[in-house]
Structure 1
Amino acid sequence: MAQRGDAGGPHTAGQVARSLGVAETTLRSWHRRYGVPPHADRPGGYRRYTREDIVRLERMRDLIRSGVLASDAARIAAVQPAEPGLGAARDRLLEASRSLDSRTCQAVLTEAVGTYGIVPVWDTVCRPALVEVEHEQRADPAPATCVPREHVLSWAIAAALHHVPPAVPEEARPTVLLACVEDEQHTLPLEALAAALTERHVPVRMLGAGLPTAGLVAAARTLSPAAVVLWAHRPDTAQVDALRRLRRLPPRVLTAGPGWSARRRASAGYLPTLDAALAELA
Structure 2
Amino acid sequence: MVTLSVAAAARRLGVAPATLRTWDRRYGLGPSDHTTGRHRKYAPLDVARLELMQRALQRGATSAEAAKYALSTPVPAPDAQQAPLAIGELDAGRPSPAGVRGLRMPGAGRPARGLGRAALAMDSVAAQIILADAIDADGVVATWGEVVLPVLTAIAAKWEHSGAGVEVSHLLEECVAAAMTRATPLVADPRNHRPVLLACVPDERHSLPLRPLAAELARRGLGVMQLGASLPAAALASAIRRTAPSAVVLWAHLPRYADPGVVAALPRTRQQVRVFAGGPGWQRGVVPAPAERIDDLPVAVAAIERAVC
> Please, what TM-score do these two structures have when normalized by structure 1?
0.65
Q: Let me know the Cα RMSD of the aligned residues.
A: 2.1
Could you tell me how far 1:280 is from its partner in structure 2? 0.8
Q: Moved runs in structure 1, 4+ residues, more than 4 A?
A: 170-174
Pick closer, same or farther for the CA change 1:174–1:107 going to 2, 3 Å: farther
Q: Does 1:193 align with 2:216?
A: no
Name the structure 1 match of 2:188: 169
Amino acid at match of 2:174: W
Give the structure 1 partner of residue 200 of structure 2: 180
Query: Could you tell me whether the CA contact under 8 Å between 2:260 and 2:287 is conserved in 1?
Result: no
Distance in 2 (alpha carbons) for counterparts of 1:263 and 1:146: 30
Q: Aligned partner of 1:156: which letter?
A: C
Query: C-alpha separation between the residues in 2 aligned to 1:88 and 1:192?
Result: 21
Task: State the Cα deviation string for residues 5-48 of structure 1 (Å, max 9, x = none).
Answer: xxxxxxxxxxxxxxxxxxxxxxxxxxxxxxxxxxxxxxxxxxxx
- Conserved in 2, the CA contact under 8 Å of 1:175 and 1:204? yes
Q: Which residue of 2 aligns with 1:205?
A: 225
Does the CA-based 8 Å contact 2:198-2:210 persist in structure 1? yes
Contact 2:258 / 2:285 at 8 angstroms: preserved in 1? no
Give SS of 1:264's match. Answer: coil
- 1:167 Cα deviation from its structure 2 partner: 4.6
Paired amino acid for 2:216: A
Structure 1 residue aligned with 2:264: 244
1:112 aligns with 2:134: yes
Give the C-alpha shift of residue 240 in structure 1: 2.3
Over 3 Å counting, the alpha-carbon distance change for 1:98 and 1:255 in structure 2 is same
Counterpart of 2:287 in 1: which secondary structure? Answer: helix
Identity score, percent: 37
Q: After TM superposition, give the deviation of residue 266 of structure 1 in Å.
A: 6.2
* Cα-to-partner distance string for 1:33-78 (whole Å, 9 max, x where unaligned): xxxxxxxxxxxxxxxxxxxxxxxx967xxxxxxxxxxxxxxxxxxx
Residues 62-73 of structure 1 mapped to structure 2, 5 A cutoff: none
Aligned AA (1:149): V
Q: 2:255 aligns with which of 232, 235, 239?
A: 235
1:157 aligned residue: 176
Point out the more displaced range, 129-138 or 250-259. Answer: 250-259
Distance in 2, matches of 1:138 and 1:150, equals 12
Native 8 Å contact 1:90 1:124 kept in 2: yes
State whether residues 204 and 253 of structure 2, in contact with CA within 8 Å, keep that contact through their aligned partners in structure 1. yes
Bigger Cα displacement from structure 2, 210-219 vs 252-261: 252-261
Contact 1:174 1:205 in 2 (8 A): no
Match of 1:125 in 2: 147
Separation in structure 1 between the aligned mates of residue 282 and residue 197 of structure 2, nearest angstrom: 18
Instruction: From the CA coordinates, give the structure whose radius of gyration is larger.
Output: 2
Provide TM-score, normalisation by structure 2: 0.60
- Residue of structure 2 aligned with 1:226, choices 241, 246, 249: 246
Quick one: structure 1 residues 196 and 58, their matched pair in 2 at CA, closer, same or farther if it must change by over 3 Å? farther
Paired amino acid for 2:301? L
Where structure 1 has 5 or more consecutive residues not aligned to the other structure, the ranges are: 1-56, 60-81
Number of equivalenced pairs: 197
Q: Provide the rounded CA distance (Å) in 1 between the counterparts of 2:277 and 2:286.
A: 8
1:114 and 1:174 map into 2 onto residues whose CA distance is 28
Give the CA deviation at 1:225.
1.0
Aligned residue identity for 2:286 = R
- 1:247 Cα offset (Å): 5.9
Residue in 1 that maps onto 2:156: 134
Distance 1:277 1:104 in 2: 29
Distance 2:210 2:131 in 1: 17
Gaps of 5+ in 2: 1-104
Distance across 2 between alignment mates of 1:218 and 1:247? 8
The one-letter amino acid of 2:195's match is T
**Counterpart residue number, 2:121:** 99
